[in-house]
Chain A
Amino acid sequence: MDPLILSFALVNGLLIGGIYGGVALGLSLIFGVMRVVNFAHGSLLMLALYAAFWLQALAGIDPYASVVVTVPLLFAVGFLIQSVVIAPLIRRESALVVEPLSALLLTAGVYLVIDNLALMAFGPDVRSASTGLALAPLMLGPIPVNSQRLIAFSAAILAAILLSLWLRSTRLGRAIRATAQNRDAAALSGIDVPLIYAVTFGIGAALLGLFGSLLATFIPISPQVGLSFGIRSFIVVVLGGIGSIPGSIVGGLVIGVFEALASQFVPATSAAILSLGLFVLILLVRPSGLMGRA
């Protein structure tokens, strides 16, 4: 196996893996704080992609500039979904920690509704956005690195760092962490738990808003695009450790590199089976993930 080809594969794997990690950040956060497995995670990314697309198609806004709109927009969507759809479930089950299975089913319903409303509203055709920025590939030696992916990768790393810092140093961030550790104690210390939940969900969605804008230029946009990202995000989050922000990035990188390298030796279809197998193995052997505390 040509070492140049392998290193090319490695670089690609890192890039796409970092992107997966960034996309999965929101899922990790939401699960870590609320114990809700958000089945609609991919659907929200799909909405963000469409938002970026329509902003360009209708208002001529470059996808990179549209971040200013998509992030708050998706925050609002996430906030709303939590307050309106999921909060009643948590209220009902307030005697126990929310039954994670009901939340999974509920968010599955959300996924079905969002994906198919998108199909109805936007039609089934595949769309794509393009950026006005002329970005030549960055050359790492002989290896061309696609600039758009590099930007998304950098954004993922940056977002993870900023999010970690924010959670640690701001009052709101600390409140979120407190709620994650012990909801009842947090409530007793005066934290408005339902608000925290809504904000957390909003932040998780807002992160997707960011990536929707960044990915719109090179990911084909269709109503179905959400599901595969959603499943990938689960794998990443489990691999990296539920609720661990750096874990999300690490998990993403591991998956990305693994698939990229494996695809050199076996067809991508078999590599997909291997990824799933890896996922199962991690769950059985080290369920807390790579960066979670056992």
Chain B
Amino acid sequence: MTAPPTDIETPAPPPSQVLLSNGKGSTRRGDKVFSGLSKGSGITLLLIMAAIAAFLAYRASIALADNEGNFLTTFEWDANSIPPKFGIAVLAFGTVVSSIVAMVIAVPIAVGIALFITHYAPRRLAAPIAYVIDLLAAVPSIVYGLWGALFLVPHLVGTYEWLDRYLGWTVVLSFDGTAPRSLMTAGILLAVMILPIITNVSREVFAQTPRLQEEAALALGATRWEVIRMTVLPFGRSGVISASMLGLGRALGETMAVATVLSPSALLSAEILQAGGGTFAQNIAASFGESGQFGRDALIASGLVLFVITLLVNGAARLIIARRKEYSGANA
């Protein structure tokens, strides 16, 4: 950017400039006010972030001081009983498991769609498909939740029974035929929800692959898949990683979709097809209604953990993107 510094007005203005601006005084004041305002807004944003951390930490400390259980290892969430006893073990486990399920399903499919749009789909179809995927990112999470609870849950019973028949011996995939309002279902729903985000970011990265590299590979007789494996995927790897982490950030913090498809319980169970478990965000939404003042502080404590986790995941994703930008500029 070659925008001149603000002190461009300092040299004595030629007579013509006096006609253009209403005198140098107001010019300088205008500049100062405007740059101050815009700088202030930037600082406001930083202050909001700091305030979020500070106030959550403050309320959380109140709750943690009176906690009878161990915040990290207790299974139950009985913040409203006396004495209060609550811990995030089950919530952390559920959050991680449902997010892993979502990532395992969503990332390969999203990369596939991104490749489909950039390299496989007929030209005329590619733009509309990308557009539709964009629109799907805009479907509100509560609608996904409603669909998940009323359509997906009943329709997954058959699949889960099938999994149980052949893979039930693994314990992880055993299932007894009750309504599958489970971590697995939540993970599948989350996968559907984060698919558009991962697809969009990956697609943009794949589309930036240097054309000459692809053509060079083609000229050497590579098949389309070999072109993708040798030029597109290596070029887009960090982009896909950061896209996945953005998706992960969303999956970790998703509230309503999980709250509608999960029957919470205080059990930490490896049987992820079976109803039960919980996630940070789901627990906040589900327990909030019956919580008193102290219960809310406890929920804020779990929210703080979620905040820190998503902060780390998103921060890492952004750093990867930023680093990539620096060296891809040389190729452009």
Asked if A and B bind, the verdict is: no
| B interface residues (Cβ-Cβ under 8 A, vs A) | none
